[in-house]
Structure 1
Amino acid sequence: MKFLWMLFSGLLLAACNNGESNMTTAQNNIEIELHDQIEKAVQNSPLKFSQECMSELDLCWYKFKRSANEKELPTITVKNSNSSLTIEKATSITMVVDKKVGDTIENLDLTVRGLPDNSPHEKQKTFIYNLLKKIQAAGWKHYYYPGDPRISGSQLKKIPSPDSVLGYLTSSHPWLDPDYELDIDRWLQIESFYNWYFYNDGVYLTFKAWRRDSKDTPNETGTYLLSMEFLSERDFWSSGFTKDEEKAKWKELLPAQLKRDHDARAAAENNARAAGIEIDENYKDPVIKAIQ
């Protein structure tokens, strides 16, 4: 997955802005309702989506893409249940539909134009945290992966590593708790990839940032690629299984996987407590509706 993300990043960065071109387009607003029928979303969009399908896999990709150099880029409003998140200056939208299980929007990926290439890291960081605040203001809650210890950003000074906690590799790392903004020194200690995780009524959102430092002033300026991935329960949890037959039976297999994850979390949290690191006891895993 990391290789695919880097490959995608490189292709997209080739079109990123080093300033803005003279191209102008009328401002357009696109609304996408998660779990809605894909045809309805495509037909109601003021902008045209391309469609690519692989019949042997029963998968279809619905795509919209603009150059980041354009002055006017669309605003995307993503709706889920009672939540409405509006993101400005989207450069690409991809919706993936698995025809084997339905024709609704369960997998949505947005790429967002950030600051110009080689802007100061401090300004880039501020821009990203403002987006994180916007996500939270729209009702999205911080999410811990079930195998990760529930350690908030309040404990980050006790954790020297940006990718592990007492040697335990963790995705929902305390340094990337959206409620606590990192100082610039810790920000730059993270190698290239930043992931923040959120949850809202059956949908999981990953906000991703990829950093490429400038050649001349790597500690001062850089270029950042920003994207948001929205996954339904089905797409989020089934992605943890590699074989097609396992993905088809994800509801049956998930309870056992969650038991293994929670055992790993308990062990990591016990080690953390012994080291004087506080656990976020108030955090409860969101209900997985499909296996209630």
Structure 2
Amino acid sequence: MKTLWLLSLVLLAGCDGFTNEGTYKVKKETKNIDIQLGSSVEDLLKQSPARFSSDCLAAANICWHEINKSRGDRDLLSLSITQPESALELDQVVSLDIVADDAVSKNIEEVEVTFRGLPDNSTHEENRTLIYDLIDKLKAAGWHKYYFPSDPRIPGSELGKYDWEKSVFGRSPLSHPLFDPDRKMSLEQWTTSGMFYDWYLYRGDYLAHIKVLRNSAVASTETGSYLIKIEFTSLNTFWQNSFEEEKRPDWKKLLPEHLKALLLLRSEAESKARAAGVEIDQSYQAPAMELVN
């Protein structure tokens, strides 16, 4: 998967479409697509003002529906990602991918959005500002910080109280405190955290995974190339895919015990954290699907 990320960054950097001065040519976004999470994939394909290309694997009953632009295109995409009582407006979009697994659902369960980003000579600080502005946009639309059930609920504000670089009290958390969407990393933390950045938020029955890849093989330590994506995934799909394939038909029956096992791992890590003087985020409210008795 990381190899695909690196290839994507190389391809993106090879067609950035900006002038010799390092700034983009004038663009005009003309395609506005309304994506209602959980609604019919077929309806979206019919109503979209931009044409999707489709690639289907009949044997598996899966289709991939895509719209791909380049960073230099004049007609980039703008999206409205909607749920009941929420609309998230996204612009500067160069790629939109919808995965449709008819064996599971005919509705929109998985969406991947790729952004144009900044020209390749932009500073890390400029990119950090752009990405945190994107995170703030999600939060303003009602998306909240997500803790994976086995991860200790340690906010980013507690990072200075323990050595988190190798593990977080015995865990390698999916939702790492360094990538707390409610706290901005310092520029030093940003540039020394590695090539991959991951933030998780949720709203209702959907997760938003903000994925950023930074090209570390740059001549200057002050500038870099960044690939920025958001994956929107229904919790149904997220948890179903967490089981081995042969167990997936019964995933709903298996999920409560699976969650209890994960929450036990959280409890063990949080006990160690409390003993070390680290505060736990007791205000966190998990998605309804993850609440177990």
| TM-score, normalisation: structure 2 | 0.92
Which digits, 9 at most, give the CA deviation of each residue in 1:259-285, with x for residues without a partner? 111010001001111111110011122
Aligned to 2:243: 241
The worse-fitting range, judged by mean Cα deviation, of 153-162 and 190-199 is 153-162
Kindly state the Cα deviation for residue 238 of structure 1 after the two structures are TM-superposed.
1.2
Matches of 1:290 and 1:40, distance apart in 2? 32
Aligned to 2:117: 114
The worse-fitting range, judged by mean Cα deviation, of 18-27 and 75-84 is 18-27
Aligned to 1:133: 136
Aligned to 1:202: 205
Matches of 1:120 and 1:101, distance apart in 2? 43
Kindly state the Cα deviation for residue 160 of structure 1 after the two structures are TM-superposed.
3.9
Asked whether the equivalents of residues 53 and 60 of structure 1 are also in contact (C-alpha less than 8 Å), the reply is yes
| TM-score, normalisation: structure 1 | 0.92
Aligned to 2:260: 259
CA RMSD of aligned residues (A): 2.2
Secondary structure of the corresponding residue to residue 280 of structure 1: coil
Aligned to 1:48: 51
Q: What letter is aligned with 1:278?
A: E
The worse-fitting range, judged by mean Cα deviation, of 246-255 and 133-142 is 246-255
Aligned to 1:274: 275
Give the 5 Å matches for 1:56-71.
56-71=59-74
Which digits, 9 at most, give the CA deviation of each residue in 1:189-217, with x for residues without a partner? 21111111011111111011111135221
Which digits, 9 at most, give the CA deviation of each residue in 1:91-127, with x for residues without a partner? 0000010111231111100001111113110111011
Q: What letter is aligned with 2:15?
A: A
Asked if residue 80 in structure 1 is aligned to residue 83 in structure 2, the reply is yes
Matches of 1:26 and 1:275, distance apart in 2? 51
Matches of 1:127 and 1:163, distance apart in 2? 28
Matches of 1:256 and 1:4, distance apart in 2? 34
Q: Which runs of 5+ in 1 are unaligned?
A: none
Percent of pairs with identical residues: 37
Matches of 2:248 and 2:8, distance apart in 1? 25
Aligned to 2:15: 15
Distance 1:16 1:130, change over 3 A: same
The worse-fitting range, judged by mean Cα deviation, of 246-255 and 221-230 is 246-255
Kindly state the Cα deviation for residue 24 of structure 1 after the two structures are TM-superposed.
5.8
Which digits, 9 at most, give the CA deviation of each residue in 1:245-268, with x for residues without a partner? 222221122112111110100010
Secondary structure of the corresponding residue to residue 179 of structure 1: coil
Q: How many matched pairs?
A: 290
Aligned to 2:230: 228
Asked whether the equivalents of residues 251 and 290 of structure 1 are also in contact (C-alpha less than 8 Å), the reply is no
Which digits, 9 at most, give the CA deviation of each residue in 1:136-182, with x for residues without a partner? 00010110000000000111222443463134211111111111111
Asked whether the equivalents of residues 192 and 210 of structure 1 are also in contact (C-alpha less than 8 Å), the reply is yes
